[in-house]
Structure 1
Amino acid sequence: MAPEDPIDLEAWRSANELSVPFSEALDQWADAAHAALVELAGRYGSYISYAELAARAQADVGIATRAPVRLWIAALQRRVTDRCQAAGEPPLVALMVAHDQTVGEGYAYAVAVADLPVPENLDQHAAAARFACYLHFGATVPAGAGPQLTPKLEEARRAAAAKAARVRPTKAVSKGRVVKARTAEAPRATRAPSARPTKAAAKPEPRPAKLCPNCFTQLAANGECGFC
């Protein structure tokens, strides 16, 4: 099921400022946008921004709005896609890009209407659709030309490829056990055992002196106390 159109936005005729239902304004803008895209597809390599096409459609029809383009551009794209599908034309919405030169989700509707799986890379798919538009509407296509990304996306792709080329591949590591070779070490010089000094003969410990049990003075060699 297609998304619903915005109905709470205002539009009016530029000549007399009379209000116009927004759905009616979208129908007329879609006719003008389709005509502008057919003209654009006749020039190889052409594309147009959402804002530029929206302004041109309003000027060609004479119906204006102050509503931001982002709120209603998808509804306009759906109408253009339905016209292309009914006429057996390639999807002209592939020529419509956002400020960053991507086709956005509006192009996904064109792919779905054609009963094709929505690709992950919409911009690469849209490049082929733009090329089909150039061929279908009589653009002078250079010999050997083919589908191309928009300039900003092509520049980004080349920058990414150049960056990847500068990255050095990692060295392959064998699954076997890595053993580091050791350099031969010079034999260590052996030190002659130092002569240990001989211990002097231990002196006999002196015997404790015998004390007099009465006055606690040292007794003479014969065991007699000289004070008692």
Structure 2
Amino acid sequence: MSDAGAAPEDPIDLEAWRTANELSVPFSEALDLWAVAAHAALVELAGRYGAFMSNAELAARAQADVGIATRAPVRTWIAALQRRVTDRCQAADEPPLVSLMVAHDHTVGEGYAYAVAAAGLPVPANLDEHAAAARFACYLHFGATVPAGAGPQLTPKLEEARRAAAAKASRIKPTKAVAKGRVVKARPAAEPRTKAPSARPTKAAAPAKPEPKPKLCPNCFTQLAANGECGFC
């Protein structure tokens, strides 16, 4: 589908047959019958708050309930089935039950985009958040027991992905500093350099020579002059 919200076209050259006798069934006729079964299954599902179903599960159930099978990959015809379910919801003035259908990664696809457009609404950029509100409307419409204070919720895989992205963003720290219009990497402050001790042995300091004892006069015991003469005797 090229335009968001455009009606998905029926696939061509796909085979379907009745499981009871293996008689071939035109694929468009098979889709019409599967849509009736799928709508009934989704109404039942909407009666349980928080419930949703994968495209593959719903496709298998519709084939089993109708007794018409195909070997064509579900991805090649699920949007055409969703278009028929949406048309039934529009005719019955029901909220879009295709919001309860998700791919293996819990996202909604082009079939839900068509449901939004069919309701006369602009197709949002984030289909999954829009589908969360639509699922909540389905629970209310079809009588699910909704807890007090409950509201629209993303599917578990999408909610977990959102939490992981938020946690990753909170762990990111700035590693660059801006200076004079230029972006430069912030560097840690340099530590003062210390001179490594030399491996060579150092010479021990020579001991200081003792001061010579003063010479005293043998008569008056006063210190003699440098020439050995007493200045008092």
Instruction: Provide TM-score, normalisation by structure 1.
Output: 0.74
The aligned residue for residue 226 of structure 2 is: none
Query: What's the offset of the Cα at 1:25?
Result: 0.4
Matched, 1:25 2:30: yes
The aligned residue for residue 209 of structure 1 is: none
The aligned residue for residue 163 of structure 1 is: 168
Query: If you compute each CA radius of gyration, which structure gives the higher value, 1 or 2?
Result: 1
Query: How far, CA to CA, are the matches of 2:30 and 2:63 in structure 1?
Result: 9
Matched, 1:128 2:128: no
Matched, 1:105 2:134: no
The aligned residue for residue 208 of structure 1 is: none
Alignment of 1:1-228 (within 5 A): 2-168=7-173
Q: Structure 1: which 5+ runs fail to align?
A: 177-228
Contact 2:47-2:144 at 8 Å conserved across structures:
yes
Does the C-alpha gap of structure 1 residues 152 and 175 become closer, same or farther in structure 2, counting only changes over 3 Å? Answer: same
Q: Structure 2: which 5+ runs fail to align?
A: 1-5, 182-233
**4+ residue segments displaced more than 6 Å:** none
State the AA in 1 paired with 2:12.
I
State the AA in 2 paired with 1:78.
R
Contact 2:8-2:111 at 8 Å conserved across structures:
no
Cα RMSD of the aligned pairs, angstroms, is: 1.8
Query: What's the offset of the Cα at 1:2?
Result: 2.2
Query: What's the offset of the Cα at 1:6?
Result: 1.3
Query: What's the offset of the Cα at 1:168?
Result: 2.7
State the AA in 2 paired with 1:93.
V
Instruction: Provide TM-score, normalisation by structure 2.
Output: 0.72
Query: What's the offset of the Cα at 1:169?
Result: 5.2
Give me the identity figure in percent: 89
Query: What's the offset of the Cα at 1:65?
Result: 0.7
Query: What's the offset of the Cα at 1:7?
Result: 2.8
Query: How far, CA to CA, are the matches of 1:3 and 1:95 in structure 2?
Result: 18
Report how many residues are paired.
Answer: 177
Higher RCO, 1 vs 2 (CA within 8 Å, ≥6 residues apart):
2
